[in-house]
Amino acid sequence: EAQVTQNPRYLITVTGKKLTVTCSQNMNHEYMSWYRQDPGLGLRQIYYSMNVEVTDKGDVPEGYKVSRKEKRNFPLILESPSPNQTSLYFCASSSYAGNTEAFFGQGTRLTVV
């Protein structure tokens, strides 16, 4: 089954404690991205990756890091989380051979206290 898998689904952490949210896709997609979704603000892109070892900033990259060492994985790293990073996070992947459908993971609800 084609899918994008995020882990964990729920996470409560404390300010300053480094964390990683993993994202894996099994569709051999070139393009992957991370979004955060906040009430009233919709989906905002954090980082995206066009292919292995190619990453770029989205609209709200501050406080986040990503890496793309393998095609299937695109982890999101929060080196020093702060309460304003409390949000719902989505990973998405797509292939751009004329295919415009983005497949989303189930989401990670992060709370930073």
Partner 1 sequence: QKEVEQDPGPLSVPEGAIVSLNCTYSNSAFQYFMWYRQYSRKGPELLMYTYSSGNKEDGRFTAQVDKSSKYISLFIRDSQPSDSATYLCAPASGGSYIPTFGRGTSLIVHP
Give yes or no for residue 93 binding partner 1 (CB under 8 A): no
Is the preceding peptide bond at 61 cis, omega within 30 degrees of 0? no
Are the C-beta atoms of residues 34 and 51 closer than 8 Å to each other? no
x/- mask, partner 1, residues 94-113, rule CB under 8 A, reads x-x-xxxxx-xxxx------
Q: Select 87 or 94, whichever has its Cβ closest to partner 1.
A: 94
Q: List CB contacts of 7: < 8 A, sequence separation 6 or more.
A: 21, 22, 108
Q: Select 59 or 79, whichever has its Cβ closest to partner 1.
A: 59
Site size toward partner 1 (CB under 8 A) is 23
Burial 57-96 (b: 16+ CB within 10 A, else e): ebebbeebebebeebbbbbbebeebeeebbbebbbbbbee
Restricted to residues 32-91, the positions that interact with partner 1 (CB under 8 A) are 33, 35, 40-43, 45, 48, 90
Q: Smallest distance from the beta carbon of 98 to partner 1, in angstroms?
A: 8
The closest alpha carbon to 43, from 60, 30, 18, 56, belongs to 60
Q: Select 62 or 101, whichever has its Cβ closest to partner 1.
A: 101
Applying CB under 8 A, the residues found at the interface with partner 1 are: 4, 31, 33, 35, 40-43, 45, 48, 90, 92, 94, 96, 98-102, 104-107
